[in-house]
Structure 1
Amino acid sequence: MTGETRYRALFLGAGPQMHCGVGQFTRLLQETIEKLEPGTSATLTLTRSEGSLAEIWRAVGATQSVVCNFPIVAWKRVMFTPLLAMAIARLRRRKVVLIQHEWTGLHWLRRITYMPALLLADTIVMFSPLVQRELASDPLLGWTARKSVLAPLPPNIEVPVGIEDSKLRHRLIAAKRDGRLLIGHFGSIYPGKQPNALLEIGAILKQRGLKPLIVYIGSFIRGVDKVEQEFHARARELGLADDVIVSGFVASDHKVFGLFSEIDAFCYPLDEGLTARRSSILTCVQSGRPLIVAGPALPEEFDHHPRFKELIARGAIVLVARGADNETYADRIASVVKRPPVHWPFDFDGWWKDIAEAVRAQL
């Protein structure tokens, strides 16, 4: 190793002004590692106005490892500089730790942007055996999966003390007074989450006279796909145009859980099945509302994540056989909403300590 180092790890971030799940994850991970080992980590902010070549060179020189949760801000303005920082780290013989959440679920254009990061990484931290297998099966970059290790993913959001009112929450309260069945879906909306499949289930519930209102708490990911247009077109085709709400980005955790408090059940008919990388699932579970989701594709999906496995065993997460038809999901929703909310014990700090220890082992 060349040069004098002050830190074990340098985390690449986009600053506190970047409100997205990617940035939140990086911040919480760095803060948890710093609590476990004070004074051993630092953050380098990379934005359009911050993070010059000289600043990157100096920051990399002062650390043993560079940790990059790529892209550092959700597919927005900062793509090149994190790759530059990783390249400088390799040039200066620092270890590069890449945090990789997805692979096949990404649009092919987005996978292309990941290619340099995968090549530059010394270690790739992944959260799902299924995603690990997807990368290993890639004809061009499959060999990089040999650099990967599994870590247990925690939720980005902790249940806050108290909730915050909002116009949308009052709208949901009024809907419940009218006898509506509120089905929730939380997180970014993109094809991998099969948002249209939930519409199909809603149409079945409506035919049964259960008056569903499907509430998507989140916003559509902007990209080359026409996800939002196709979603609303399908809702109209199914006669659900007035039975669907898309909240858009909700900035406050207090507001998020205020909305959660009115949801009767969450549902995720994931084509790939439940994987251990689904942080949004873990956020929903903390609400105490029942959550129905397709079962995992691999029997070993949660072997590295005992806390996630325990939630399934306790019934906080209700599995439906992968490949089940929409009628089955409708049946399960109709049955679970009859049970009262159950607030499961959830050690948020413990979940983050688990991943921090896993990442520290790679530094």
Structure 2
Amino acid sequence: MTAETKYEALFLGAGPQMQCGVGQFTRLLYQAIEKLDPGSSAALTLTRSEGSVAEIWRAAGSVRSVVCNFPIVAWKRVILRPLVALAFARMRGRRVVLVQHEWASLHWLRRLTYLPALLLADTIVMFSPQVRRELARDPVVGWTAAKCVLAPLPPNIEAPSQTADSPLRQRLEAARQDGRLVIGHFGSIYPGKQPNTLLNVTAVLRERGRNPLTAYIGSFIKALDNVEEDFQAWVSELKLSEDVIVSGYVDSSAEVFGLFGEVDAFCYPLEEGLTARRASILTAVQTGRPVIVTGPAEADEFDHHARFKELIEHGAIVLVPRGSDDAVYADAIVTSLKQSRTYPPFDFADWWRDAANAIKAQL
């Protein structure tokens, strides 16, 4: 570093008050890189009221690289300020490292807001070869895929030493005591995760007399997709109102894992197949419950992510062939509950150390 630069990297975030997955990822990445190299990094909070143009300009000049997990907070908030920071970094000769989780699964309006960040980036960190291929096929910015590097994605939430009780946990516990099969689905609910397909699987299990209760532990993403309206309409169509629960936002990891403790198995029928960017699945795996997921589209999906591949090889994640019908997922859930498996130990810190090392190499 030169006399002008104080830090190796500046992490753009929206502060601890912004509770969302992208914000949590940025905080954990910053902390993990600081553990590797204490004092090497700084964080800049950008909200609707914090982060003036002058502050952004000074911060961009004090570092070698600016790291942005774009958008830094949930959709439709704080879009302009991080783009200003990236532009200032380029103007001042600093590196721009963009962390990009998705592409084709995003609504086209969202992708439009990402375009400036892609163009300004020196390096684009991705977590899935499939997402990199999606970007490469884009007719407008496909050329930016040449700037992509792959990193192993860790989970955003660590299993706590103690869990917390809640009315919903008690409801799930009572359902299991009554002999119901509790199926879990964790994370934000949006079209890319095929939430309605799991409703079909629930209906199949009910027809077989398994008396399922499917718990969506998470909340709907507010966007232009009408996902919540379509979901509720399909619940009504299948007459599943007594067999489906949506928790809404859950405030703490202790409460989340309290709910997980009452889940028999998790299930994710994904049209795109399992990709190495699915942090919600890694969170669910920490429970020791079987996680049933559609298999990946390409054989190389986990070649860069040895830990994720190990979970699949040991049966912690059960893959269902792409193109399978709802009955196959129902069979996989029932079969998984009859099998005894020994999973590899899940060291949350080691997962984040892997990610930090991969991203630090780009700074």
TM-score, normalised on structure 1? 0.98
Alignment partner, residue 52 of structure 1: 52
2:299 matches 1:299: yes
SS in 2 for 1:337: helix
Confirm or deny that 1:251 pairs with 2:222.
Answer: no
- 2: distance between equivalents of 1:80 and 1:189? 26
Equivalent residue, structure 1, for 2:334: 334
Amino acid aligned to 1:159 = A
User: For residue 238 of structure 1, what is the aligned residue in structure 2?
Assistant: 238
Say if 2:315 and 2:343, in contact at 8 Å, map to a contact too.
Answer: no
Q: Any conservation in 2 of the 1:273–1:295 contact (CA below 8 Å)? A: yes
Preserved contact between residue 3 and residue 61 of structure 1 (Cα < 8 Å): no
Distance across 1 between alignment mates of 2:145 and 2:176: 48
Question: 1:199, 1:235 within 8 Å by CA — same for their partners in 2?
Answer: yes
The answer (yes or no) to whether the contact 2:314–2:342 under 8 Å persists in 1 is no
**Does the 8 Å CA contact 1:155/1:280 hold for their aligned counterparts?**
yes
1 CA distance for matches of 2:341 and 2:151? 30
Q: Distance in 2 between matches of 1:293 and 1:322?
A: 10
Paired letter, 1:223: A
SS in 1 for 2:267: strand
Go from structure 1 to structure 2 and tell me whether the alpha carbon gap of 1:303 and 1:343 turns closer, same or farther (over 3 Å shift): closer
SS of aligned partner of 2:81: helix
- Asked whether the equivalents of residues 181 and 264 of structure 1 are also in contact (C-alpha less than 8 Å), the reply is yes
Preserved contact between residue 101 and residue 127 of structure 2 (Cα < 8 Å)? yes
Question: Partners of 2:344 and 2:239 in 1: how far apart?
Answer: 36
How far the C-alpha of 1:342 sits from its partner, in A, is: 5.7
| Alpha-carbon distance, 1:76 to partner | 3.9
User: Structure 2, unaligned stretches of length 5 or more?
Assistant: none
- CA deviation after TM superposition for structure 1 residue 322, in Å: 0.9
Partner-residue secondary structure (3-state), 1:42: strand
Measure the CA separation in 2 of the matches of 1:195 and 1:269: 8
Q: Distance in 2 between matches of 1:291 and 1:71?
A: 29
Please give the per-residue CA displacement for 1:45-69, whole angstroms capped at 9, x wherever unaligned: 0001100000001111100000000
Aligned-partner SS, 2:182: strand
CA distance in 2, matches of 1:126, 1:61: 26
User: Which of structure 1's runs of 4+ aligned residues deviate more than 6 A?
Assistant: none
Residue pairs, 1:95-106, within 5 angstroms: 95-106=95-106
| d(CA) in 1 for partners of 2:321, 2:343 | 25
**SS class of match (1:105):** coil
- Per-residue deviation at 1:340? 5.8
Unaligned runs of 5+ in 1: none
Aligned partners of 1:69 and 1:98 also within 8 Å = yes
Structure-2 separation of matches of 1:220 and 1:342: 34
In structure 2, what residue type is equivalent to 1:16?
A: P
TM-score (norm 2): 0.98
Alignment of 1:148-227 (within 5 A): 148-227=148-227
Size of the aligned set, in residue pairs, is 363
1:57-113 Cα deviation digits (max 9, x unpaired)? 111110000000000002142111000100111111110000000000000000001
> 2:308 aligns to what?
308
In the alignment, is the contact (CA less than 8 A) between 1:13 and 1:46 conserved in 2? Answer: yes
Contact 1:8–1:65 (CA<8 Å) still a contact in 2?
Answer: yes
SS of 1:249's equivalent in the other structure is coil
What is the deviation of 1:2? 9.0
2:12 counterpart SS class: strand
Deviation at 1:335, TM superposition (A): 1.2
CA distance in 2, matches of 1:356, 1:15: 20
Identical residues among aligned pairs (%): 69
3-state SS, counterpart of residue 56 of structure 1: helix
CA displacement, residues 212-252 of structure 1 (integer Å, 9 cap, x when unaligned): 10100000000111000100100110111111000001111
Per-residue CA distance 1:185-219 (angstroms, 9 max, x = gap): 00000000000000000000000010110100000
Query: 1:339: Cα distance to partner?
Result: 3.8
- Residue type at the aligned position of 2:197: A
Distance 1:212 1:172, change over 3 A: same
CA RMSD between the two structures: 1.2
Relative to structure 1, the CA distance from residue 359 to residue 88 in structure 2 (aligned partners, 3 Å threshold; closer, same or farther) is same
Q: Distance in 1 between matches of 2:181 and 2:341?
A: 15
Q: Is the contact between residue 289 and residue 341 of structure 1 (CA under 8 Å) also seen in structure 2?
A: no
Q: Which residue of 1 aligns with 2:123?
A: 123
